[in-house]
Amino acid sequence: MRKHQISRTLTMASLGCGFVGPVVGGWYKVLDRLIPGTTKVDALKKMLLDQGCFAPCFLGSFLSLTGALNGLSAQDNWAKLQRDYPDALIANYYLWPAVQLANFYLVPLYYRLAVVQCVAVIWNSYLSWKAHQL
């Protein structure tokens, strides 16, 4: 069994506070302006836009930033992104569409980030594992 990796924890905490929280929180505000309302159809539209446009870009950015913070060269980071991104995106689609549909339909805007962060504890464990594989 491997020891706890403090640098890995610090990398993920830095990304969470400096990138994930601000970007996702801002995205929810933009999304609510683009598609106002909380009907089932509105929630479905938000989820489709979130998962069709935002999630693929965000995931690629997250994996790239993690590689850079871990000291990968641009070439190694690109190779790792090409290797890991497809699997991570597929895993994203197993979890997040259902979570986001419920989130956009049932949860007021100012609680959405908190709901997502509860689910993200598990998701981020997966992403951390994926991002730190060599």
Q: Is the pLDDT of residue 132 over 80?
A: no
Query: Between 76 and 1, whose confidence is greater?
Result: 76
Q: How far apart are CA 64 and CA 5, in angstroms?
A: 20
**Can you give the pTM of this predicted structure?**
0.85
% residues pLDDT > 90 (the chain):
64
Tens digit of pLDDT for each residue in 7-46?
878 888 888 889 988 999 899 999 999 999 989 999 999 9
Contact 49, 35 (CB under 8 A): yes
- Mean per-residue pLDDT, 114-119: 91
| Chain centre distance of CA 54 | 9
Predicted local confidence at residue 1, as pLDDT: 59
Residue 26 is inside which H or E element, if any? Answer: helix 21-34
- Mean per-residue pLDDT, 68-93: 94
